[in-house]
Amino acid sequence: SSSQPLQHGITHSSGLICHFKMSSQQNNEQKPPAIEGQPLVNLPSTYKLRLRQSLAACGPIIATLSCGMTSGFSAVLLPQLSLDTSDIKIEPEEHSWIASAAVLPMALGCIISGYLMEQYGRRPTQQFICTLLAIGWVLLSLSNSLWFIFVGRVLTGLCVGLLGPVSIVYIAEVTDPHIRGTVLAGIPLAVSGGILCSHGLGTLLNWKMAAALCSIFPFIGCVLLYPAPESPLWLVSKGKVPEAEINFRHLRGYSDSATKEMIVVLQKKDLISALSNSKFDKETLKQLLDPSFLKPFFIMNFFFFFQQFSGVNAVIFYSVSILNDVSSNINEYLSTFIVDVVRVVMSVLACILLKKFPRRTLAVSSAAGTGLSLFVLVFSMKCLSKEYSWISLLSITFYTAFISIGLVPLPWIMIGEVFPQSLRELGSGCTSCFGFLVFFSVVKTSPYLKASMGIEGTFSIYGTLAISGAIFLYFCLPETRNRTLQEIEDGFKKTRNVTSLSVV
């Protein structure tokens, strides 16, 4: 029965906890006494520990630059393919398929990613994905037919889906609660930076050369991941406790809070290992129906729905044509560059804001500001003459600023925080998959909405959904700032109202 391995795991875990406590005491005893007036030696400072955590996150963040390039690449690829001088001819109805070809595989990649990171570890999985992503960009740069373009777009899109969940989970597991949000915000910042890079390269260079240059970033990410430590939580789930302790101490040090956090993880090792290594059974179903999984699962899926239907990726994928419509008196490539720079600057600001303000406050403010900016944009396009087109550009700039500080980064940050350790791979993978499916539907339907309702009607729908999202997030989004992953998990179990998971 399922209770037998769990009972055995409990006994085994007790021994591991004792080992961990004794090891911690021995480490403290072995430290040389302080000379009067001098600090203890061999104790890494908080600064040094956080530097180690940040360095471990560098590989995933650099690789994620290429994910942003995948999202932004269609905005420069499609205009160049539409030129009369293009070697590859495309029909108007093929535009949306080229843009969305990278999106649907992202959803499949999220599901596969959960299996790969659970079976083979966080670090090797990311290195494999980086290699595959570099190959995808090389194939795209060598394309001489529409079929080759589709293959390159599908492969790079699959890798974006593969990399998203594992990089977020890895960073969440190797950083401490006080910097976790800031470091995780590096992921959407890298996406914004990648979009800017791809638009800049595509504006200055032929799309084939731009694709070749994009292949450099996943290669750099793969190299940076080589010296990075494996996630201690994954190692514990596989029974590799000594190695887990070495990595944990390297990243988190010997503080009382760090030791307490690791002991709590060891206490749950039996359940984590049983769920990781067993087939689907009553115990697994019980965990899936537990509030600690169901609550964050539904909340994050709704969060992704409102994020995507605020129109963020419709603007990114069709930015040149959209900005040509909303600011016809201003060069569309200059407009795109301005919006891209604003997106990057606000993503940097989001890294700071996430350390200073609660998650829920940023999410609600972002959604409300996004909706209001879209309504101002619709008003300016319908009621003002073309000489005031700068107001439309200003509105879409404010839209980009508001959406970049909350709606864009927070869902990706929080899927690495809110799910229980035993089901984190499944939860993050399935939620990311749903996010990319909604992503695909928005990118695919945006041209049809624009054709049937006009750009004003399309943005009115997006604005209404953004305001609806602000209301939902105010009442339902949990607060995870400055909480350990275990505290977040326990909070979902103990509270009926998830918003009571607050941090002042």
DSSP 44: -
| Mean pLDDT score across all residues of the chain | 82
Residue 474 has a pLDDT of 95
- pLDDT, greater one: 275 or 412: 412
* 446 phi, psi to nearest 5 deg: -55, -45
CATH class of 278-497: mainly alpha
Residue 6 has a pLDDT of 37
Does residue 228 sit in helix, strand or coil? coil
Residue 27 scores a pLDDT above 90: no
Q: What percent of the chain has pLDDT over 70?
A: 82
pLDDT tier for residue 270 given thresholds of 50, 70 and 90:
low
Which of 337-341, 369-373, 434-438 comes out lowest in average pLDDT? 337-341
pLDDT tens digits along 124-159: 999 999 999 999 999 999 988 888 899 999 999 999
Residue 426 has a pLDDT of 86
Report whether 146 contacts 88 (CB < 8 A).
yes
Pairwise CA distance, residues 407 & 306, whole Å: 8
Pairwise CA distance, residues 300 & 408, whole Å: 13
Residue 464 has a pLDDT of 95
Angle of helix 332-356 relative to helix 186-204, nearest 10 degrees?
Answer: 170
pLDDT tier for residue 171 given thresholds of 50, 70 and 90:
very high
Report whether 122 contacts 237 (CB < 8 A).
no
Same fold, 43-228 and 278-497: yes
Cα angle value 36/38/40 (rounded, 5°)? 105
Token pair 């729908």: residue? 461
pLDDT tens digits along 228-237: 999 998 998 8
Burial class (CB in 10 A: 0-12, 13-18, 19+), 329: exposed
Tell me the mean pLDDT in the region 94-117. Answer: 85
pLDDT tier for residue 269 given thresholds of 50, 70 and 90:
low
Pairwise CA distance, residues 293 & 431, whole Å: 11
pLDDT tier for residue 501 given thresholds of 50, 70 and 90:
low
Pairwise CA distance, residues 459 & 449, whole Å: 9
Q: What percent of the chain has pLDDT over 90?
A: 34
Token pair of 464 as six digits: 């209404």
**Extents of the domains making up the chain:** 43-228, 232-277, 278-497
Report whether 425 contacts 114 (CB < 8 A).
yes
Residue 34 has a pLDDT of 38
Pairwise CA distance, residues 85 & 88, whole Å: 9
Residue 341 has a pLDDT of 86
- pLDDT, greater one: 199 or 364: 364
pLDDT tier for residue 212 given thresholds of 50, 70 and 90:
very high
DSSP, residue by residue, 363-416: HHHHHHHHHHHHHHHHHHHHHS-GGGHHHHHHHHHHHHHHHHTTTTHHHHHHTT
Residue 484 has a pLDDT of 81
Tell me the mean pLDDT in the region 222-246. Answer: 91
Residue 444 has a pLDDT of 80
Residue 53 scores a pLDDT above 80: yes
Q: In the chain, what's the furthest Cα-to-Cα distance?
A: 79
Residue 78 has a pLDDT of 82
Residue 28 has a pLDDT of 45
- pLDDT, greater one: 291 or 279: 291
Checking 481-488 for CB contacts under 8 A at 24+ apart, the result is 481/181, 481/354, 481/357, 481/358, 481/359, 482/177, 482/178, 483/177, 484/177, 484/261, 485/172, 485/173, 485/177, 485/417, 485/421, 486/261, 486/264, 486/265, 486/421, 488/417, 488/418
Q: Which of 82-86, 256-260, 374-378 holds the top average pLDDT?
A: 374-378
Q: Which fold has domain 43-228?
A: Growth Hormone; Chain: A; (1.20.1250)
* 367 phi, psi to nearest 5 deg: -65, -45
Report whether 306 contacts 473 (CB < 8 A).
yes
Amino acid at 126: Q
Token pair of 146 as six digits: 């529409």
Residue 136 has a pLDDT of 94
| 164 closest CA partner among 198, 122, 215, 211 | 122
Which of 14-18, 306-310, 468-472 comes out lowest in average pLDDT? 14-18
Pairwise CA distance, residues 149 & 140, whole Å: 6
Tell me the mean pLDDT in the region 232-259. Answer: 88
Tell me the mean pLDDT in the region 387-398. Answer: 79
Pairwise CA distance, residues 359 & 502, whole Å: 9
Report whether 499 contacts 479 (CB < 8 A).
yes
Residue 331 scores a pLDDT above 90: no
- pLDDT, greater one: 158 or 338: 158
DSSP, residue by residue, 479-504: P-TT--HHHHHHHHHH-SSGGG----
Enumerate residues 6+ apart whose C-beta is below 8 A from 4: none
Report whether 409 contacts 185 (CB < 8 A).
yes
Tell me the mean pLDDT in the region 51-68. Answer: 94
DSSP 185: T
Tell me the mean pLDDT in the region 465-478. Answer: 94
Residue 465 has a pLDDT of 95
